[in-house]
């Protein structure tokens, strides 16, 4: 198990179109484990393998990363209504059906500190595989549907900021550049040497 490095937009790795997983082996399971670990450490609810520079069609989602639903019936009811049943790894997803629209203020672990509104389908049905290679079909609503669409975009090399205006995107790009300067690998290494 290992926490992997999340690429920050506009890192070129985020533009790569991910390839289908061909072999459901131990390497895939260890990628999935690492992705959950990386996502939890970063306080995210979704992660695509593209974000850790692995160009494979693998997504992890956990809409209740702190396990609050077991103590909060309202949250549990909300998650149930979205078709969400718990942490899930989604391999090689394909969109089977989509309907409705909703606007959600999205964030992304590859664009830290930025949230903005994106229009998505309210409901999506996907066909995908679990890490054992077992096929499943899933219908998701609301935030769960938004998370799936956001992560599936990553697999196509698309980040949500690309839906925003050029002006907003330029502002975000400058913020991300500053962030990179503040937290370069060199900086971390230097600190460790000290």
Contact residues for Zn ion, defined by CB under 5 A: 108
SS3 for 27? helix
Please tell me the distance from the alpha carbon of residue 159 to that of residue 151, in angstroms, as a whole number: 9
| Cβ-based nearer residue to Zn ion, 6 or 128 | 6
Give the nearest distance from C-beta 178 to Zn ion in angstroms: 20
**Taking CB positions, which residue lies at the least distance from Zn ion?**
108
* Nearest residue (CB) to Zn ion, 9 versus 84: 9
Rounded to a whole number of angstroms, the minimum distance from the CB of residue 29 to Zn ion is 22
**Least distance from Zn ion to the Cβ atom of residue 108, Å:** 3
- The dihedral through the CA atoms of 38, 147, 140, 50 has a sign that is negative
Task: Given the residues 117, 151, 162, 177, select the one marked as catalytic.
Answer: 151
Q: How far is residue 95 from each of residues 48, 56, 103, 181, measured CA to CA in Å?
A: 16, 17, 19, 38
Nearer CB in complex with Zn ion: 24/179: 179
Q: Are 21 and 56 in contact (CB under 8 A)?
A: yes
Catalytic residue check, 151: yes
List, by residue number, the catalytic residues.
151
């Amino acid at each position: 198990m290992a926490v992997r490095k999340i690429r920050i937009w506009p890192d070129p790795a985020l533009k790569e179109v991910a390839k289908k997983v061909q072999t459901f082996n131990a390497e895939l399971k260890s990628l999935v484990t690492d992705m959950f670990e990386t996502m939890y450490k970063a306080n995210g609810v979704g992660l695509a393998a593209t974000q850790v520079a692995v160009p494979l069609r693998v997504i992890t989602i956990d809409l209740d990363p702190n396990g609050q639903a077991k103590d909060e019936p309202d949250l549990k009811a909300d998650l149930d209504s979205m078709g969400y049943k718990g942490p899930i790894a989604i391999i090689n997803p394909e969109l089977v059906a989509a309907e409705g629209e909703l606007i959600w203020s999205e964030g992304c672990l590859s664009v830290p500190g930025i949230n903005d509104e994106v229009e998505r389908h309210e409901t999506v049905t996907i066909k995908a595989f679990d890490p054992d290679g077992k096929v499943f079909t899933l219908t998701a609503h609301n935030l769960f549907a938004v998370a799936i669409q956001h992560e599936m975009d990553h697999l196509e090399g698309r980040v949500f900021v690309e839906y925003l205006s050029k002006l907003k995107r330029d502002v975000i790009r400058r913020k991300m550049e500053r962030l990179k300067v503040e937290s370069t690998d060199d900086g971390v290494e230097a600190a460790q040497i000290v």
